[in-house]
Structure 1
Amino acid sequence: MDILPILDTINSYLWGTPSLILLFGTGLLLTVMLKGLQFSKLLYAFKLGFTKEGNAKAGDEGDVSNFKALMTALAGTIGNGNIAGVATAIAIGGPGAMFWMWIVGLLGMATKYSEALLAMKYRVKNANGEYSSGPMYYVERGLGRKFKWLAVAFALFGAFAALGIGNSVQSNTIAGVMETSFGINNITTAIILSLLAGLIIFGGLKRISTVAGVFVPVMAILYIGGSLLILGINYDQIIPAFQMIFYYAFNPVAATGGFVGVLVAEAIRNGVARGIFSNEAGLGTAALIAGNAKTDHPVKQALVAMTGTFIVTIIVCTMTGLVLIISGFWDPTGGLISGVEHPAHLEGGALTGAAFASVLGIVGEYIVAFSIIFFGFSTIVGWYVYGEKCFEYLVGTKGIFGYRAVYIFACGVGAVANLTTVWAFADMANALMMIPNLIALILLSKVVVRETNDYFENHYKAAKGAEKAAG
């Protein structure tokens, strides 16, 4: 029996308009309740994450630093969706889709902030002495035992989704690039990925966070550097590209030549949907690692966590979008670079690779190829943390060894398997993670506001006063 049509039907409902409204509406509600905190405190949030001001102090409880917690979260979030997902959104929804990705990203910062804050407030210590956090803990501890079933549902689907979207799908993408760009067969890639993933995963959270602290900056520099090089070469087309984004966010793209045209509704739907997939705000994944951070107040790590959404959507996704628009690879009739034709058979990551290659030649192709490899592998490692936290909630720490073995096996299988059905299962699991998490965020929104007010009215002012006195 072919279950793919059944899964596709389920996903059409789970990722339909009601779910997108729930996601968008939750971000808007939290933005209003927090008085636009993601805008007014953004610079302070970056200071906490990337300067000494955010360093843990003696006596602060946690397992890793704010920076390493952020890098681990980014390892799971910055993935091939930032390359392939943006390409798909713009190819289907037109340049205007980029605008709606920005909107969902900016609102998603409030969602991500709230997830991380609740993760810190309701975190618990496990049998190994490490902290465990996530939606299942703030659902159970914040909403009460009567919501235990909702917490179990999130954990179950989270553990499953990690095997698919965060693991097998990524290894399959990496295997495709290794074969196409470097001539390495899928079996060899499967063995290499499994060995490397096992080496890191069996080292525990601290090794994973250390590797993420190296991997994420390297891959970000590689990909963003290549994007900036293309934009620098075509600097005179940057403003026209932004003009196209803003214009087509509210106006349909006319049908010309081989291009069928795009309605504004398509730009909104694709921008919102792909934006959510790229930054994961609302899925609850950030909460699964945020609780491990060393800090003296939940708000500090929450602020650091929300910078991840800004980095992913406003920086990385924008780079991809601008390159695609300027190179003309979103439109078969050509773009701002004269004479460029869009190869209709390409899509996703291959389309982004072709766009880079059209400007930088073989170097551009390799930049995207290596970025996909780095992005994909870091996602495999980062999502393992998510899966482990969910699995631990369901069965305790005794079953972790078995989950690690299954996760590594799935990594190898993913490199050689046909993952159409796995994609469908993973999409379903993601949606089923999202729904209980968003319900919890709405019900616990007053707790988020209360903790936020406590920090900025007491701890923040006291710290700034001490700084002035010392200075």
Structure 2
Amino acid sequence: MLNTILAVFEFLWGGPLFILLTGVGLYFTIRLRFFQIFGLGKIYRYTIGTLAGKNKQETLGEAASGKSLKSIEVAATVLSGSLGAGTIAGVAAAIAVGGPGAVFWMWIIATVGMLTKMVEVTLAVRYRVKGENGEYYGGPMHYIKHGLARKWAPLAGIYATALMILVVTDACFVQTNTMAAVIHYTFGMPTIAVGLFIIAIGALVIFKGLAGLGKFCTYALPPITLAYFIGTAWVIIDNYQAIPQAFADIVHYAFAPAPAVGGFIGSSIMQAISKGASRGIFTNEAGMGTSATVHATANVDYPFRQGMWGAVEVFFVSMITCNFTAFAVLTSDMWTNADYQGIQIVFAALAAVWPPFIVHLLTIGVALILFTSYLGSFIKYRTSINYLFGDNWERIIKWLYFIPPIIAVNMEIPVIWLMADIAVGFLVIPNIIALFLLRKDFIQEYQRFKTNVIDKTP
């Protein structure tokens, strides 16, 4: 039964869903004349560049109330939900099953995904609503409901339901399972103890409100991400002779079956596309619309300005973080060792070049990345249940977020990732349909920002 489900979703990700994602991404890429490539300077100037005190944006004046987040807090919260199992364990697992060629298809998904996510975030801010608690709610279910004709309303309900399932699958199962696995692998700590820690500390942070969650992710994410970069970079440097071959394998096996090597059983082209596409979108969320629910809380003047933060996230996650993992795994050759699975592959590579003390520190750092990923996904969860059940039920149902980690920490890794692939598939279809139907709304927001900001900036 499990093998049958795996085969079905391998086909979907290797064909229909891949075509759907890249097709819509290419459409917007062409309409904006490859803005995510030729407009990188503008994207930087109006996003990260504002942090240096230049090009300060006008805001809605609500950040101080704690009911909305600054753009940088939104980005940090989203990255907290993206960095983690996908960029570390997910990339390693994709290579272990789909071969080196899977990395190439992750690059393709990321390139068009920068524009796709820009569209999602822009529409989420444009069509967001304010709840009775004064906080903003937005995302695909809202731009479907408020931007499209009434006949499309059921699509919004389908998306909101799928989002709730995905967040529970991703944050509560994948992230927490991976966190428990890495701590148990390094320190031998019982997985159930890790689950209890996640629940206790997570509840304390989350229920301090949006402002507390945003600040925690903003300050916690940079140092632990930097530590991971340093750790994997040294693996790559130590195996620098293998870098050219890793590049060659990535390109070659994207279009050719990968042969069996060591414990690696070999892979087909479809497996490379399937794992690259599914893990690629799982890490950067472009096409899923999930992170748009977080961006909808931003305290920002123009929807398109926030949309550009979406492109920054995809670039940082898929073109930087995922590549640190991919090249550490490929150059160290640990992906061919059948004794390791998922995140264990990465830590086997780290342990080969770093002393145990450093590996222990990196374990703590990666565990914190996974923990912030769990925290950052809560906004997506509360947005979906608010849409489906309303403000009153949200206050009750949100507590269910703290039950799955106890179950997840002892589940099998292949089952965990299969759940994630299925959930992502159900999200992509309604969201991509909505993005294409609302293409004129996005172009309108782009033109408004271009006319009022870009064209007037010296």
How does the TM-score come out when normalised to structure 2?
A: 0.90
2:170 paired residue number: 165
The 2-side partners of 1:289 and 1:84 are apart by 24
SS of alignment partner, residue 367 of structure 2: helix
1:89: Cα distance to partner? 2.0
Match of 1:350 among 315, 333, 344: 344
1:437: Cα distance to partner? 0.6
Contact 2:240–2:331 (Cα < 8 Å) also in 1: no
The 1-side partners of 2:84 and 2:440 are apart by 32
Letter in 2 for 1:457: T
Letter in 2 for 1:370: I
2:198 paired residue number: 193
1:216 paired residue number: 221
Match of 2:140 among 135, 141, 163: 135
Match of 2:426 among 432, 438, 441: 432
Q: Are residue 248 (structure 1) and residue 253 (structure 2) matched? A: yes
1:258: Cα distance to partner? 6.2
1:279 paired residue number: 284
2:320 paired residue number: 315
Contact 1:56–1:295 (Cα < 8 Å) also in 2: yes
Letter in 2 for 1:460: I
2:43 paired residue number: 45
The more displaced of 391-400 and 308-317 is: 391-400
1:75 paired residue number: 80
The 2-side partners of 1:32 and 1:358 are apart by 45
Contact 1:172–1:417 (Cα < 8 Å) also in 2: yes
The more displaced of 256-265 and 71-80 is: 256-265
1:409 paired residue number: 403
1:311: Cα distance to partner? 0.5
Q: Percent identity?
A: 33
Contact 1:201–1:404 (Cα < 8 Å) also in 2: no
1:291 paired residue number: 296
Q: Are residue 390 (structure 1) and residue 405 (structure 2) matched? A: no
Contact 2:117–2:286 (Cα < 8 Å) also in 1: yes
Superposition map of 1:8-23 within 5 A:
11=9, 15=13, 17-23=15-21
The more displaced of 6-15 and 453-462 is: 6-15
Contact 2:139–2:293 (Cα < 8 Å) also in 1: yes
SS of alignment partner, residue 330 of structure 1: helix
Match of 2:394 among 379, 394, 400: 400
1:48: Cα distance to partner? 3.1
The 2-side partners of 1:75 and 1:90 are apart by 23
SS of alignment partner, residue 322 of structure 2: helix
1:299: Cα distance to partner? 1.0
Extract unaligned runs of 5+ from structure 2.
Answer: none
Mark the CA change 1:434 to 1:179 in structure 2 (over 3 Å): closer, same or farther. Answer: same
User: CA-to-partner distance for each residue in 1:244-264, whole Å, 9 max, x for gaps?
Assistant: 333433444445676554444
Match of 2:446 among 444, 448, 452: 452
The more displaced of 79-88 and 114-123 is: 79-88
Letter in 1 for 2:44: F
1:400: Cα distance to partner? 2.2
The more displaced of 355-364 and 54-63 is: 54-63
User: CA-to-partner distance for each residue in 1:58-77, whole Å, 9 max, x for gaps?
Assistant: 54566111111111111111
2:207 paired residue number: 202
The more displaced of 253-262 and 29-38 is: 253-262
1:237: Cα distance to partner? 4.1
Extract unaligned runs of 5+ from structure 1.
Answer: 332-342, 466-471
1:88 paired residue number: 93
Question: Matched residue pairs, number?
Answer: 451
Contact 1:61–1:296 (Cα < 8 Å) also in 2: no
Contact 1:98–1:321 (Cα < 8 Å) also in 2: yes
The 1-side partners of 2:425 and 2:433 are apart by 13
Mark the CA change 1:101 to 1:360 in structure 2 (over 3 Å): closer, same or farther. Answer: same
The 2-side partners of 1:304 and 1:28 are apart by 19
Mark the CA change 1:239 to 1:88 in structure 2 (over 3 Å): closer, same or farther. Answer: same
Letter in 1 for 2:272: A
SS of alignment partner, residue 203 of structure 1: coil
Superposition map of 1:334-349 within 5 A:
343-349=337-343
Letter in 2 for 1:24: T
2:110 paired residue number: 105
The 2-side partners of 1:175 and 1:105 are apart by 28
Contact 2:254–2:273 (Cα < 8 Å) also in 1: yes
Mark the CA change 1:87 to 1:259 in structure 2 (over 3 Å): closer, same or farther. Answer: closer
Mark the CA change 1:255 to 1:160 in structure 2 (over 3 Å): closer, same or farther. Answer: closer
Mark the CA change 1:8 to 1:235 in structure 2 (over 3 Å): closer, same or farther. Answer: closer
The more displaced of 437-446 and 268-277 is: 268-277
1:205: Cα distance to partner? 1.4
2:25 paired residue number: 27
The 2-side partners of 1:415 and 1:79 are apart by 15
The two structures, once aligned, show a CA RMSD in angstroms of 2.5
Contact 2:25–2:112 (Cα < 8 Å) also in 1: yes
Mark the CA change 1:309 to 1:258 in structure 2 (over 3 Å): closer, same or farther. Answer: closer
The 2-side partners of 1:6 and 1:330 are apart by 25
1:417: Cα distance to partner? 5.3
User: CA-to-partner distance for each residue in 1:115-159, whole Å, 9 max, x for gaps?
Assistant: 001011111111111111100010011112221111111111211
Mark the CA change 1:275 to 1:368 in structure 2 (over 3 Å): closer, same or farther. Answer: farther
